[in-house]
Structure 1
């Protein structure tokens, strides 16, 4: 169910059909219908019978606000993000490490969502991204981060491990596709 809700949240402007969810999550059509029933009943997912599509539901608004207010570093960093972006004249984002992924927590005003990513979007926590976060961590954190780097073959082409390639495809993030 979590993968289904995350998929719908990854495309807020595009309602998804059951076929879209099946393709993304890899469930059977019947299982997908069953999995969607609970979040629809809870208001986490909204069903549109006329178009046979689904989007995230309004009940998730409270979750988002609660999550945002519980990350104190983000509250402090928001004004600094805007000031830094204005001063340098470039877009900026705040990302939070969550396991082997980075989650975008905030974007500066005026930054291009296609280029910079959408708030809540996930992408690989791997080189060359987030070196500043890794620099403040333990050596074992740095070793794990380095181990996630894309591999370059003798032909000079990038060769991702199957799990990293699947994660990049799943995230559908412009940066993840290039990484």
Structure 2
């Protein structure tokens, strides 16, 4: 991999410093002390940033964030979305595994589908962007895999209808599975065929005789009628920003294959998460 330019790092250090201290003005001496580069180099870089409008020099020989940088920040803020990064990852997953990949964002007691990507063989599947799916146990496990038990209990207390003891236990076991493997997966129940093009059961589930079972164990040597695999995308605070669900997988696969697909989905979520959870500008 080619090495990046030291000059780029120095410019970034200066911009990060000002971004971390918005509304404040600093002298050349203060900037030098904070970013720890030579006075001559810092003066050259500050002068150049002023010329292009990224910084502004005040009459008292102090510097503040410039108008161009302010305009850029407003533009980025208005159009920035993790889905910009998620879309190509979702497309790759859908095409590679001949399924449907949806991005689900939790809003209160619901999960809202914000984006979907479908392989050619799954163009008719439901859950279009904007679909609102009730979030119910046990399929809420992926959203609470790293949450404190008190938070999970508070959510369960408000679920209607109330989950059974078995559903609660299954969800907590699935949370442990998600912590270990980084994903959850579901299979079609014994004697059940793949449902009609309808994905509401992915996040809601049927309270009695569900067509899909959320699994809590994985046997590499076993065989599974795989229905879906889901994994979380974490934000900077290690909270679930949203989930990716790869579904429409209506074939039997080995446990080793489930693990391979799950790892692929988790890796995609990790790459998206590195964008979502990008560290803020470092303060001095």
* TM-score of the pair, normalised by structure 2: 0.29
- Ranked by relative contact order (alpha carbons within 8 Å, sequence separation 6 or more), the top structure is 2
| The structure with more helix, counted as a fraction of residues | 1
Q: Which structure shows the higher strand fraction?
A: 2
- TM-score, normalised relative to structure 1: 0.44
